[in-house]
Structures are given as structure tokens and as C-alpha cells.
Amino acid sequence: MNNKLKIALLGLLAVIVVYLLFYKTNSEVSSKSLKDFAIRDTANIDRIFLADNDGNQSLIARQADGTWMVNDKWRAKDNNVFLLLRGFYNLEVKSPVVKGAVPAILKQIASKPIKVEVYMKGQKEPEKIYYFGFATADHYGNYALLEIPGEGKSKEPYIVKEAGFYGFLRPRLITNEKEWRYDGIFDYPEMDIASIKVDYPQHKDQSLEIKWNGGNDISLLNKSGEPYKSFDTLSVKNYMLLYKKIHIESFNNRLNQAQEDSILNTTDPIAYVSVSNRSGETVSVAVYNKGYIDPYARLEEYNYLDPERYFILTDDNQLVSAQRLQWEPLLVPEKAFRPE
């Protein structure tokens, strides 16, 4: 098969894929323009499905306790869900697409669409289906098509925006499930902490353990597990407060599997951090220095050490990225709490 024939077949395949993903839907294209994009009853939205033509899909589902799950795997980020629901509530048409530009905008939406299906409680069919294209040139709107089951899909696209928001909506339409995942690691807003243990494998003498039974009933233990008779109780309390909200930066560490394996197999963690709550549940992570190379660094020792981030190995073996600014205060030596 010559190259020209291969290119022609690939082009035909691309056209078929776009048709299946975008043009072929369960309902025919409506003869009217559908432009009622908003969903005011966001309290009754219980599922949101997002997909792109790269194979990424995320189903965000409301749980009985008010939290949301992504693809029945992980808790979804609260703020991401809030922004999405707020967008649906305030979604409005900024303007129609000028007639002469409609064919080009339809092709643009079809080339890289994000499809969003919104389901209400008790519904098997989506309330509304959106096809979002790219942002407008001024970044104050998105090109989009609306489909309403039973009524069909709009015959023309619109420029839509969130009322009162100056920006465009597409960054909120996350299809990659990892980007939806809730990023809290140590999350104890009610301070139901029973113990904290920080172990430094390369500096055992600096490891620490704190046990707390509430109030001023706090113990600071040495590396042998024996409590100190004298230590700075206030400093320990302030340290424990850090654990009310410790998050990571992203579950997408931008490493391939070989790179992850190399880090875990050739690099020793600088610390293990473990927290147990009053119910006996424990969260444990390993903290690794993150490699970094700055060709303009004046001091050689600053190379190979990212000054802004750590890698964290979570208790479900996910290697993730975390901000030093938040995590470094956790990594203090045991002697920091004892008077000289």
C-alpha cells in the first residue's frame, strides 16, 4: 500500500470517527435553535458525564452524604463540582454565531468536542446534553451546541458564558478522571486525631511520635517509644493543627511507568508520615525529594532537588506531586518540641 493511499484511508477514518462522536446522536438535529442552556435546579442534579474523543470519560455521581464520586473510584474534588454546578445554573447565551461562520464553528466543535450529559434524580435520560468547543478569541465565551432529549439537537451553535464570570468554561469540563480526584491526604477538620508518627529512615534520631487523648493529654515519644517528661506542649498542639487540611498538588505526576519505577526503586524516601484517627483508621504516606535540574543554578547542590515540590507515595501506591510549602512544616525533628 503506497503512502498516498494510506493517508487517504486515515483521513476517511478520521471523518468516520468525528461523525460517530459528534453528528450521530440518538435524536435527529432539530429544525429549531435550542438555546436554553441553563439548569436552575442544580440541587437535583445527581450525575454528570463528561467525555472527549481521546477516550477520556468521567462520570461524577452525587452520594447520599452529599459528596461526589468519580467513576465509582474516588471522591471528586468539592470545588470542581461546585464550579461545574454554578456554571450550569448561570449558563447563558452571549450571542449567536454569525451565519457565515456557522459551518466553520461546527467543524471546530466536531474536531475536539467535550460532550457533557447532565442527569437529574430519577432520570434515565439526560436532562440536557452539551457539546462544547474551544474558547472564543477574547476568552470570554465558549462555542457550544445544545441537545435536549425529545426535542433534538440545535441546528446552530452559540457563544455561551457563565453570567457574572469573565472567562471561559472549557477548563472546568474535566474528562481525565485523575484530575477530578479529591486531593486531600490528611484531612481532619474536627481534629479527631489519635496519633501522628513521622519516621526519618536516614535520621532515626530525629523521628517523632505524638499521641493525643484530647485536651492537654498529649504525649511526645522518643525513638524507643518512651514518653518524654518535658516538652513544649503548645508547639506540639500547633504542629497537630497542620493536619486539619493537608492536600497534594495533583495526581497527575507527568511521569511514565518506567520513571515512576525508577524513583521508587532507586530513591529512598526522606520520611514516612502516618496519622491515625479516633476510630483506628490510619493514613500513611512516604515523602520523596523531587528531582530538578536548573541549567542556570549558580550552586551545584541546588540541582536535582526541586525547590518547590515533593513526590508523595500515597497509601494506595499513587506517586503524586505535592507543594513543599505545605508539606515541609510537617517534616520537623523531634528535638524541635523539647527545650534545650
pLDDT, tens digit (0-9, with 9 covering 90-100), for 266-275: 888 999 999 9
- Residue 151 shares a structural domain with residue 262: no
Domain C-terminal end among 129, 155, 180: 180
Give the pLDDT confidence score for residue 295 in this predicted structure: 54
- Residue 112 shares a structural domain with residue 232: no
Q: Are 158 and 98 in contact (CB under 8 A)?
A: no
Tell me which H or E stretch contains 105.
Answer: helix 102-111
Neighbours of 260 (CB within 10 A): 16
Domain total for the chain? Answer: 2
Residue 83 corresponds to which cell in the numbers above?
Answer: 464550579
Give the pLDDT confidence score for residue 10 in this predicted structure: 46
Give the pLDDT confidence score for residue 178 in this predicted structure: 87
Domain C-terminal end among 140, 160, 180: 180
- Residue 11 shares a structural domain with residue 45: yes
C-alpha torsion angle, residues 235, 236, 240, 246 (rounded to 10): 60
- Residue 107 shares a structural domain with residue 166: yes
Q: How far apart are CA 327 and CA 262, in angstroms?
A: 23
Strand 152-153, strand 128-135: pairing: unpaired
Find all residues with CB under 8 Å of 120, minimum gap 6, and list them.
41, 44, 45, 46, 127
- Residue 11 shares a structural domain with residue 153: yes
Give the pLDDT confidence score for residue 306 in this predicted structure: 83
Decide: helix, strand or coil at residue 236.
helix
Give the pLDDT confidence score for residue 296 in this predicted structure: 57
Q: How far apart are CA 267 and CA 312, in angstroms?
A: 12
Give the pLDDT confidence score for residue 307 in this predicted structure: 83
Give the pLDDT confidence score for residue 302 in this predicted structure: 52
Residues in the chain: 340
| Bridge partner residues of 160 (DSSP) | 93, 142
Q: How far apart are CA 197 and CA 239, in angstroms?
A: 12
- Residue 196 shares a structural domain with residue 219: yes
| Bridge partner residues of 76 (DSSP) | 181
**Residue 133: which of 94, 97, 107 has the closest Cα?**
107
Domain C-terminal end among 136, 153, 180: 180
Give the pLDDT confidence score for residue 259 in this predicted structure: 85
Give the pLDDT confidence score for residue 34 in this predicted structure: 80
- Residue 57 shares a structural domain with residue 113: yes
Q: Are 105 and 133 in contact (CB under 8 A)?
A: yes
- Residue 220 shares a structural domain with residue 313: yes
- Residue 149 shares a structural domain with residue 245: no
Give the pLDDT confidence score for residue 86 in this predicted structure: 96
Neighbours of 181 (CB within 10 A): 24
Q: How far apart are CA 232 and CA 227, in angstroms?
A: 13
Q: How far apart are CA 77 and CA 248, in angstroms?
A: 12
Q: What are phi and psi of 235, to 5 degrees?
A: -65, -40
Give the pLDDT confidence score for residue 298 in this predicted structure: 54
- Residue 202 shares a structural domain with residue 324: yes
- Residue 172 shares a structural domain with residue 25: yes
**Domain interval for residue 297:** 184-337
- Residue 173 shares a structural domain with residue 196: no
Give the pLDDT confidence score for residue 12 in this predicted structure: 52
The list of the chain residues with pLDDT below 70 reads: 1-33, 292-304, 340
Q: How far apart are CA 123 and CA 62, in angstroms?
A: 14
Give the pLDDT confidence score for residue 15 in this predicted structure: 46
Residue 128 corresponds to which cell in the numbers above?
Answer: 440536557
